[in-house]
Structure 1
């Protein structure tokens, strides 16, 4: 007997893939070093550069992903290294430029000329500290004003105070540039020139206390031959010994200029050495009356009516302008 019932429907066959069509490929793995390179670029630039190059090498071999990350990390790393290098260079330049200027300002140096040398920075030594305990001369003898602590030339209304050490090389620069003009102004009554010869550079004269002896010689000259005081000062600087040398002997100091009265005995007796050291102690540690500064921090220090000259040591026009602007007509 023939079965006339229809056969149940069959599920359709799945479509086969088209000829030559490959299955959809899986995304490649991202290289680990590429990720590290990108992240470290924000913290350690050198690490970013190193891991970036390693990542690119691995990616070429393994065909991993992350090439863009590695390149980004490399670029950021190199930018960071360049920025750090530039910052270091700027810091070095600033340090080399600013620090000396600050130190010069502290020591009294200004402009393009040093106001005091490394050895011209005042230091109080034991001899200066003990000077005040010795008997000191008083009153006025010749050009020496012992109570006021200076040697004076001229009677002008404008007061010019010059603090110097006979062994200070920058004091010599100032004297050679401006000493002649100051002498003229003192002689014609325009200014009163007050000399303060200090002794703190004794420490660089091989134990001969040259600054003290030279200051005492200048004072001997002021008391015995006041008319030749400025000539003697000019000769002191013209024959200035080098720092760290023994300096001139007493007989050489006495022979610097021809004098009506010999100063040999005065030098041999050591007169005015204690007074010179006491003046130094006062200048370095005491109060300077009617001045912009309270004490001397370097030599030369020049005051005109109490105002500090902070210009160039070898520019006579600049100094004369400062002198004129401070009540010198």
Structure 2
């Protein structure tokens, strides 16, 4: 091999160069910043989805708001003059129903007080199987009907909010759920009458509640709903993932 070829042969080999540690640290730092921004953005987005709307408003306050139970066991809550109807299909054991109530319950209460809407609660019991007693969802339906049947709108609204509150709602497949006495105590705290309390403790509406829950499940299927919660506005299913769905009611 001549000198030129030897020189070329030697220069054709790739010799790794020591990378710049400063550049590595800068690029690594930028990557960490991007990851942190994505994580923080995701947390903020999730928090915005689950933050209560109209927070601080509370349950229905207008004493003219009336609660009623119709022949199918559906509970209505609103002023007689309300022109728009919201139907909510829910189960007292359902965690997503609890989220709906916690995020939009106060916002709905305000709309009810203003006379903008009547809410019709179709309370179901298909999640009985996930309650330790095997009957909690049905008993919660019965208790709700006991309170609503007295006509006291604010008391029912307060009780309904309590059913889905984090400190009262049982967990699916948990170790315990709520007794009738506990349901009655929570109804009493909500301002329910003695008549409603007796109705809960003696279980007089449980059989009727089971029947109305079955009717409600049929109505849910007929409306095109695929689970709970399902919300209809004037008969049409709405996307509750749209955080402005209550605000858009007018």
TM-score, with structure 1 as normaliser:
0.50
Do the aligned partners of 1:179 and 1:234 also contact (CA within 8 Å) in 2?
yes
Greater relative contact order (Cα 8 A, min sep 6): structure 1 or 2? 2
SS in 2 for 1:195: strand
What CA deviation, in whole Å up to 9, does each residue of 1:275-316 have, x standing for no partner? 22222222323587xxxx53543000000011111241xx63
What CA deviation, in whole Å up to 9, does each residue of 1:258-286 have, x standing for no partner? 42523332112212222222222223235
Q: 2:163 aligns with which of 236, 258, 265?
A: 236
Q: 1:152 aligns with which of 60, 76, 90?
A: 76
1:216 corresponds to: 142
Q: 1:310 aligns with which of 239, 244, 248?
A: 239
CA RMSD of aligned residues (A): 2.2
What CA deviation, in whole Å up to 9, does each residue of 1:42-68 have, x standing for no partner? xxxxxxxxxxxxxxxxxxxxxxxxxxx
| Structure ID, larger Rg | 1
Within the alignment, does 1:253 sit opposite 2:186 as a pair? Answer: no
Give the 3 Å change call, closer, same or farther, for CA 185–286 of structure 1 in structure 2.
Answer: closer
Distance 1:261 1:207 in 2: 26
2:227 corresponds to: 298
What CA deviation, in whole Å up to 9, does each residue of 1:23-44 have, x standing for no partner? xxxxxxxxxxxxxxxxxxxxxx
Q: 2:67 aligns with which of 131, 143, 151?
A: 143
**Residue 248 of structure 1: how far off its partner (Å):** 0.9
Distance 1:309 1:302 in 2: 6
**Residue 253 of structure 1: how far off its partner (Å):** 1.0
Q: 1:271 aligns with which of 181, 187, 204?
A: 204
Within the alignment, does 1:166 sit opposite 2:110 as a pair? Answer: no
Give the 3 Å change call, closer, same or farther, for CA 303–260 of structure 1 in structure 2.
Answer: closer
Distance 2:193 2:163 in 1: 18
Do the aligned partners of 1:284 and 1:296 also contact (CA within 8 Å) in 2?
no
**Residue 181 of structure 1: how far off its partner (Å):** 0.7
Give unpaired runs (5+ residues) of structure 2: 1-48, 50-65
1:130 corresponds to: none
Distance 1:173 1:267 in 2: 25
Do the aligned partners of 2:112 and 2:118 also contact (CA within 8 Å) in 1?
yes
Give the 3 Å change call, closer, same or farther, for CA 210–286 of structure 1 in structure 2.
Answer: same
SS in 1 for 2:149: helix
2:24 corresponds to: none
Q: 2:107 aligns with which of 177, 181, 187?
A: 181
Question: Mapping of 1:7-22 within 5 angstroms?
Answer: none
SS in 2 for 1:143: strand
Do the aligned partners of 2:72 and 2:212 also contact (CA within 8 Å) in 1?
no
Do the aligned partners of 1:165 and 1:299 also contact (CA within 8 Å) in 2?
yes
2:30 corresponds to: none
Give the 3 Å change call, closer, same or farther, for CA 203–191 of structure 1 in structure 2.
Answer: same
Give unpaired runs (5+ residues) of structure 1: 1-112, 114-141
TM-score, with structure 2 as normaliser:
0.64
Do the aligned partners of 1:177 and 1:316 also contact (CA within 8 Å) in 2?
no
**Residue 255 of structure 1: how far off its partner (Å):** 1.4
